[in-house]
Amino acid sequence: MSKKTKISATTGISLVVASMVGTGAFTSLGFQLVDLKNPGTILTLWLAGGLMALSGAFSYAEVGTAIKRSGGEYTFLSELFNPLLGYLSGWISLTVGFAAPIALSAIACIEYLPFHIPYARLFGVLLIVGLTAIHSLSLNTSAKFQNITTLLKILLISSIIVLGLVLSPETDNALSFNSSFIGELKSTAFAVALIYVSYSYSGWNAAAYITGEFKNPEKSLPIALIAGTILVTVLYSFLQIIFLKHASYDQLSGSLNVGTIAIQQMLGPRSSIFFSGAISLLLISGISAMIWTGPRVTSSIANDHLLWKSFTNPKKGIPVKALWFQAILSSVLLFSGTFEQIMIYCGILLNISALLTVFGVIRLRRIKKVSFNSQAKKHKTIPKDYKSPLFPFFQILFILMSIWIIGFSIINKPIEAIMGIGNLIVGIFTFLISNSMTKKYVLKSGTLTKALKD
């Protein structure tokens, strides 16, 4: 792939922001206020979620700049630990990790429109097909489309924040710091709420799936992951302040549409029409980001496994077959009615993959130390790669928070956990089939390289 077809750090940031910002920031506050009464607790909650995401971003930036291959956890875990571990992570991403969120977001996008659309699921398929077609054209087209839709998303949220800060509330609001919130920070309600906030921050690792498509991954990947995560943390935190400022506790507590309630109080009843349309726009940007990044995992698997060789990248670098394979899976899940349950179990498994990748930073440091000692005898200077700050503080923080989230999810969603185990068993079976195909081919021809290129 030529340098002209590769993307910049700016596009990487837009990809991270688009993947992260969804409906969670506009809906989850109401459920948090049922058990958490102090706005100080709410702000701490969203900042803590941002800190966890940033901890992951620091770690992925270090691993990604060392390995420099697209594919995310599939590539990282294969290189750092074991090919089977990496394959299973990629298998989850390939089958449901991106397809289910795309299907769910497509339905949500249609439901948020300010007018009724008949045959909503069919329209959702058309939306998925249309966005897939855009990303099938060229890398430049994908980058431009993603940058424009993400810019509109940021401008929209920033406008809401600025208006919310400037305008005075017309009613009693929930932004009161009269009582101490330290006690709430120690409560079970805070821990449970943190789990759902972490889901709102999911997508912080999006740029790691296209590492190989950056012009300069050593610099661009850390900028994309870290800057994108910080930007979303700031936007999320200020949004909660605006919602608390312009609506009362009674209005917000237990409500799903907290964003709509706060906007109506701030700008008037007619604003809800504009706001609903704006949410749909936000979701289109997020769907586009997932459609772009997901097939890169599939094509990375195809580069290493004969079973999936049909999905290898062509010379122009666009995994067109993988894009349309993902579109088919998303469409099937959209009509199946079970993708929300699938979302939960693949979320558990993807959290495990992220945890292992962050733990991989510790392993990577040991590998680099051995390599440095052996090379130092031959070279006066050795290139310095990106390193996560305050090592291993952020890694330990991320691992502990991930263990809590995974454990809570398994205990409270045992059926989904069993579904996840079933999916992994199927994944192991396909891994064994692929290995068998590889051994037979190597025995026959003596080389694997030609098989993966043919």
For residue 296, what is the domain's CATH number? 1.20.1740.10
* Domain that residue 187 falls in: 3-453
Looking at residue 381, its pLDDT comes to: 42
DSSP tag of 95: I
Cis peptide before 392 (omega within 30 of 0): yes
CA torsion angle 401 46 98 285 (round to 10) = -160
Q: Is the pLDDT of residue 448 over 90?
A: no
At residue 376, the pLDDT reads 45
Nearest to 417 by CA among 401, 406, 433: 406
pLDDT confidence of residue 340: 73
Query: In this prediction, what percent of the chain has a pLDDT beyond 70?
Result: 91
- Is the pLDDT reported for residue 372 higher than 70? no
Residue type at 70 in one-letter notation: S
CB 313 within 8 A of CB 453: no
- Predicted confidence (pLDDT) at residue 343 exceeds the cutoff of 90: no
φ, ψ of residue 214 in degrees (nearest 5): -80, 145
For position 379, what pLDDT does the model report? Answer: 43
- The pTM of the full predicted model, rounded to 2 decimals, is 0.90
In one-letter notation, the amino acid at residue 35 is: D
Average pLDDT over residues 204-225: 95
The rounded distance, in Å, linking the Cα atoms of 263 and 34 is 20
302-312 tens-digit pLDDT: 989 989 988 98
Q: What is the mean pLDDT of residues 218-223?
A: 96
Positive or negative torsion for Cα 316, 321, 325, 331? positive
**Residue 291 above 90 pLDDT?**
yes
The dihedral formed by the CA atoms of 185, 191, 197 and 202, expressed in degrees to the nearest 10: 130
CA-derived radius of gyration, the chain? 22
**What domain count does the chain have?**
1
Q: What pLDDT is recorded for position 45?
A: 95
Q: What is the mean pLDDT of residues 273-286?
A: 86
Mean pLDDT of the chain: 88
Cα-based torsion angle of the residue sequence 88, 92, 95, 101 in order, rounded to the nearest 10 degrees:
-170
Least confident span in 228-237, 262-271, 385-394: 262-271
**pLDDT value of residue 117:** 86
Q: What is the C-alpha to C-alpha distance for residues 308 and 322, in angstroms, rounded to an integer?
A: 10
